[in-house]
Amino acid sequence: MREKLLLLRAFFKMEFITFRRYWMNSLGGMLTLYVIFLVLFGGYQGLRSLGGVEGDPAEVIVVGYVLWFFMLSTYQDVWYTIRTEAQQGTLEQLYMSIHPFGWIMGAKVVARFFINLLLVAILLGAALFTTGVTLNLDLLSLMPVLIGTLLSSLGIGFLIGGITLMFKRIDSYTQMVQFILIALVALPADRVLWMRLLPGSYGATLIRNILVDGATLWGLGVGNLAMLFAIGLLHLAVGYGVYTLCEKKAMFLGMLGHY
């Protein structure tokens, strides 16, 4: 356990140093996302104003966009790390560690979670200031639901990471995942039961219930929260299982450390 805590501490230190050293790049990324949000939100409001078209309230648009960014960041933290390590020729060194590769990636994701949380808070604050909407920022209720939702993103990240080990360059396909995540966040999982089984959809519905409708963690119910974590853990298990199969195949073919 002490070794695992030291690993987590090392990743926290690394992520903090990286964020501090390259804060200008992080700021540029946030500005880009903010401009994209302004374009999307402005276009959406323009469409609603034409002939009195009905649609989702502005609060739902803000929540959906910010949640999409968080899910996208979490998913990319896994597969992008695997791809970068393979490109740099250092992936095999991670496998030589005393820690299993799954623990290494888990520690990195946990450390990166807090950096992403800071970026999301900045993006959300800017979006709320721009649009003038208000949300129920109940962090005590929001954090467990958010963690359960991001488990599915981790599963997608490991799945894409495993495919990356085999085919190396799949950037054109990973760009498609960004748009798929948008659809998953927007699906009406509260009205269509089978959609709750899709990655992130049920969590997005519960998060909207908290932020927009003012629901509390106790109001959501233990059953809904348990279902959310069960779905998220299932996606994570499937994604990591696919990664493990690809990992063994890459080792057998001698492709693990080559790009």
Amino acid at 156: I
> Considering Cα of 29, then 77, then 121, then 226, what sign does the dihedral take?
positive
User: Which pLDDT score, from 0 to 100, does residue 258 have?
Assistant: 63
Q: C-alpha distances in angstroms, 167 versus 9, 172, 241?
A: 33, 12, 17
Asked if residues 189 and 198 have their Cβ atoms less than 8 Å apart, the reply is yes
Burial label for 23, CB within 10 Å (0-12, 13-18, 19+), is: exposed
Q: pTM of the entire structure?
A: 0.86
207/132: higher pLDDT: 207
Average predicted confidence (pLDDT) for the chain: 83
194/42: higher pLDDT: 194
> Residue 257 pLDDT more than 70?
no
Q: Which residues contact 100 (CB under 8 A, 6 or more apart)?
A: none
Asked if residues 170 and 92 have their Cβ atoms less than 8 Å apart, the reply is no
Rounded Cα distance, 205 and 135, in Å: 15
- Mean pLDDT of all residues in 165-179: 81
Question: Model confidence over 27-85: pLDDT tens digits?
Answer: 777 788 888 887 777 666 655 555 444 445 778 888 888 899 889 888 888 888 888 88
User: Which pLDDT score, from 0 to 100, does residue 236 have?
Assistant: 94
Which residue is associated with the tokens 């269509």?
192
User: Which pLDDT score, from 0 to 100, does residue 53 have?
Assistant: 44
Rounded Cα distance, 10 and 196, in Å: 36
- For 224, list phi and psi in degrees, rounded to 5: -65, -40
Q: In this structure, what DSSP letter does residue 200 have?
A: T
- pLDDT over 90, % of the chain: 19
Rounded Cα distance, 23 and 17, in Å: 10
- For 90, list phi and psi in degrees, rounded to 5: -110, 5
Rounded Cα distance, 17 and 38, in Å: 31
Q: Which residues contact 124 (CB under 8 A, 6 or more apart)?
A: 62, 66
User: Which pLDDT score, from 0 to 100, does residue 48 have?
Assistant: 53
Asked if residues 203 and 228 have their Cβ atoms less than 8 Å apart, the reply is yes
Question: Model confidence over 142-166: pLDDT tens digits?
Answer: 999 999 999 999 999 999 988 888 8
User: Which pLDDT score, from 0 to 100, does residue 52 have?
Assistant: 46
Asked if residues 115 and 15 have their Cβ atoms less than 8 Å apart, the reply is yes
User: Which pLDDT score, from 0 to 100, does residue 254 have?
Assistant: 75
* Tokens encoding 95: 């496998």
Work out the number of other CB atoms within 10 angstroms of the CB of residue 157. 28
User: Which pLDDT score, from 0 to 100, does residue 55 have?
Assistant: 46
Question: Model confidence over 95-127: pLDDT tens digits?
Answer: 887 888 888 888 888 888 888 888 888 888 888
- Mean pLDDT of all residues in 123-141: 86
> Residue 227 pLDDT more than 90?
yes
